[in-house]
Amino acid sequence: MQPRKGSSLLTLFTNRYQQFQPTQGVPVRITLGAPRFKLRYTLAHSVRELAPQREYFSKSLPEFTTAYRADLDQCGVQRIAERLKQIAEIERDHRLVLLCFEDLSDPAQWCHRRVFAAWWKEMTGDTVRELGPMAGRYEQGTLM
């Protein structure tokens, strides 16, 4: 499949709920469930299309990745981009930070936010940088 150019109207990042800082951009939930702990910021947006199905979490990483990417493919880049652009337009901020629970400082941990980031890069050519404390292990997490 030929990669499609992403949108310059969007700058996507990933992080975990606990590490997000409002200066990073607009927080966007990409999990089925919302955090049950107190957040230091308002979480007004959710993109359920980016939340993996519950049963995927019992699978190995390769099985999870295959199933989750199939869902992303079915939804499609255009639909996901439109959904994300709506949030950016509402908030008047092109920097969206896609949030979930996993702590990627543990080298054994993996997360759907990074599976999405790889898929998005493959499909659009746009990099989705990790902003958490271990950002350098994935890609540099600077905002500039």
The CA–CA distances, whole Å, from 122 to 43, 62, 104, 119, 125 equal 28, 17, 21, 5, 6
Q: Domain for residue 64, yes or no?
A: yes
Give the residue numbers spanning the domain of 46. 11-138
Number of domains in the chain: 1
Digit-coded pLDDT (tens) for 26-74: 999 999 999 999 999 999 999 999 999 999 989 999 999 999 999 999 9
Tell me, yes or no, whether 17 lies in a domain.
yes
In a domain, 6, yes or no: no
Domain assignment present for residue 143? The answer is no
**In-domain check, residue 130:** yes
The helix or strand, by DSSP H or E, that contains position 27, with its residue range, turns out to be strand 26-29
Report yes or no on 4 lying in a domain.
Answer: no
Does the residue 51 lie in any domain? yes
* Inside any domain, residue 57: yes
Prediction pTM value: 0.85
Longest CA span, the chain: 43
Q: Which two tokens stand for residue 58?
A: 């019992």
